[in-house]
Amino acid sequence: MLMRTILLLSACTLLAACSDDVDTPTFDRIQTATDPANGQTVEVILDEVIDPATDTADLDDGERYVAIVFSVKNTSDEPFTETDPSADAWLITDVSEDTIVPDLHEASDCEPFEEVPFGGANEPVPPGETISGCVTFEIPAEAGLVSFGYYFGEPLTFDLS
């Protein structure tokens, strides 16, 4: 509940800076996070926003797919286990204050996390190594992108407006 409250507050703050266009945005690409539970640190890199993305499934009328390609680098001295980066990701658009969770379909424009080294089956990510992949979101066709978020012990928000 605390995380959802933080996300909604972030969304409300970011909605003031929304844009109606859906062109490829410029953004702050790298953020760091520390998990307060164990002190592990990561660097999260926003690699690419694919808008629109080509999904392998049928798209609902009035919707489009957006794929977010990002990387998580282990900057700690110990391995960490990231079971599914897409489970810790969200998107906010300018048509709703609600967070949008990733769609379970895969985009043909990029590789999902379960297809990359260290990315699946609870395999530890060694110190200094990076996992990269994409998550796909189904959003209204007219929606502008506001922010992409990722949670690793603390919420990170990338401005996409």
pLDDT value at position 11? 38
Q: What is the DSSP letter of 96?
A: -
Q: Break the chain into its structural domains and give their ranges.
A: 2-21+29-159
pLDDT value at position 89? 93
Say how many residues make up the chain. 161
Q: Is there a contact between 147 and 161 (Cβ–Cβ < 8 Å)?
A: yes
Of 11 and 97, the one with more pLDDT: 97
pLDDT value at position 77? 94
pTM over 0.85, yes/no: no
Of 118 and 133, the one with more pLDDT: 133
Q: Cα–Cα distance between 110 and 79 in angstroms, integer?
A: 26
pLDDT value at position 13? 36
Average pLDDT over residues 54-83: 87
Average pLDDT over residues 64-78: 93
pLDDT value at position 107? 85
pLDDT value at position 116? 56
Residue range 2-21+29-159 forms a domain whose CATH class is mainly beta
Q: Cα–Cα distance between 95 and 144 in angstroms, integer?
A: 7
In the predicted structure, residue 61 carries a pLDDT above the cut 90: no
pLDDT value at position 8? 36
Task: Determine how β-strand 89-93 pairs with β-strand 63-74.
Answer: unpaired
